[in-house]
Structure 1
Amino acid sequence: MTQTIETERLTLRLFTPDDADFLYDVFRRPEVARWSGTGVPIADRDEALRRIAGQPKRAGDHPAAGIFHVSVRETGTPAGMVLFAPLPPSEGVQRDDMEVGWHFHPDAWGNGYATEAAQAVVDRAFATGLAEIYAVTHPDNDASQAVCRRLGMTDLGLRSEWYDVELRAFRLEHP
């Protein structure tokens, strides 16, 4: 599959090392980092470079998988990231799920970019015949839960099957 996706307003493409400054700018911010991974802001640009280098492994080998840099088509302004990747099961749990997820720069919040970018990767995944897609959010992340609902995802409540923590899970079945 192509590694670039275009929507009405956005361009999604795989990250390159040239994106390290932007990735650092996004994840150095406590208001973004609190919803991601450990919840701790990244320390420096080198950590952003390491994350970019690790993205192909994290994305896995599903034909629609990827961790995509999202920019505004009209201006080229970087806005955030969207991923479609394997959802890591919790210790002792046997699952093989795929997730859609997103993180955006605060300057891009409130424009519908997360929903538009996520819908693009969901459509791409369903085009491969995938039966269902999951999203997981921090239990208090109302904004991301609203994106899940706009995507038509079903709220599964608080679950602990993934990432070894309790998260609010959502599922979208192939239409």
Structure 2
Amino acid sequence: MTVETARLTLRPFTLGDTDALFALMSRPEVARWSGRGVPMVDRQEAVDRIERMPVRRGDHPAADVFAVVPHEVEAPVGMAVLVPIPASEGFGRDAHEIGWHLHPDVWGRGYATEAATALVERAFASGIPEVYAVTNPDNVRSQAVCRRLGMTDLGLRSDWYDRELRAFRLDRP
């Protein structure tokens, strides 16, 4: 399930990507925007996360957790996701989210927008009617990516992950 863009290959993670994932998610400036908000402190955490990715992907054939690999390098510089979004307690939604985490060394190169655009196209081509993105309310960089994608800002919502997040939606044209 590889996705190619002009500058990137998006592919499933393998255990060979453990060091790259650990290098990414052990950085406080990246991890603070992740689900737990806490940096990884042990390489085994990256192994465990990679091993859980098939479950996180869910059952939809278009969905996955993708390593973001620029064409000129071999190791991932980030991750992008098209996965089921867990509804908060009391909310019964069946929806998919897109998301991204990139190493600070590649911030500002447009990789997040390029990867997310490819995943939006993949989602819509496979029949997913809408995609969501949820961000920490203070994560203005990711919110800017959502706006570049043409997503509608839904404001602060508690529909997912049992916490208040700034949510965005994009409907299939």
TM-score bracket, shorter-length normalisation: over 0.9
Identity rate, percent: 64
Q: What residue in structure 1 maps to residue 49 of structure 2?
A: 51
How many angstroms does 1:91 deviate by?
1.2
Contact residue 21 and residue 76 of structure 2 kept, 8 A = no
Q: What residue in structure 2 maps to residue 38 of structure 1?
A: 36
Q: What residue in structure 2 maps to residue 9 of structure 1?
A: 7
How many angstroms does 1:26 deviate by?
0.5
After superposition, the C-alpha distances for 1:39-83 in whole angstroms (9 at most, x for unaligned) are 110121100000000001001011110000011112335221000
- Determine helix, strand or coil for the equivalent of 1:78: coil
CA distance in 1, matches of 2:74, 2:19: 15
Question: Alpha carbon RMSD of aligned pairs, Å?
Answer: 0.8
CA distance in 2, matches of 1:103, 1:130: 22
How many angstroms does 1:130 deviate by?
1.5
Aligned length: 173
CA distance in 1, matches of 2:56, 2:3: 19
- Indicate whether 1:110 and 2:108 are aligned: yes
Code of the aligned partner of 1:117: A
Contact residue 57 and residue 84 of structure 2 kept, 8 A = yes
Alpha-carbon spacing, 1:16–1:77, altered in 2? closer, same or farther (3 Å): closer
After superposition, the C-alpha distances for 1:97-129 in whole angstroms (9 at most, x for unaligned) are 100000000111000000000111110110012
- Indicate whether 1:120 and 2:112 are aligned: no
Contact residue 132 and residue 170 of structure 2 kept, 8 A = yes
Q: What residue in structure 1 maps to residue 171 of structure 2?
A: 173
How many angstroms does 1:131 deviate by?
1.1
Contact residue 17 and residue 76 of structure 2 kept, 8 A = no
Q: What residue in structure 2 maps to residue 147 of structure 1?
A: 145
- Determine helix, strand or coil for the equivalent of 2:142: helix
Code of the aligned partner of 1:72: P
- Indicate whether 1:64 and 2:62 are aligned: yes
**TM-score, L = length of structure 2:** 0.98
Ranges of 4+ aligned residues in structure 1 off by more than 4 Å: none
CA distance in 2, matches of 1:152, 1:76: 31
Q: What residue in structure 2 maps to residue 73 of structure 1?
A: 71
Q: Greater shift after overlay, 62-71 or 75-84? A: 75-84
Q: What residue in structure 1 maps to residue 19 of structure 2?
A: 21
Gaps (5+ residues) in structure 2? Answer: none
Q: Greater shift after overlay, 136-145 or 85-94? A: 85-94
Code of the aligned partner of 1:89: A
Gaps (5+ residues) in structure 1? Answer: none
Q: What residue in structure 2 maps to residue 83 of structure 1?
A: 81
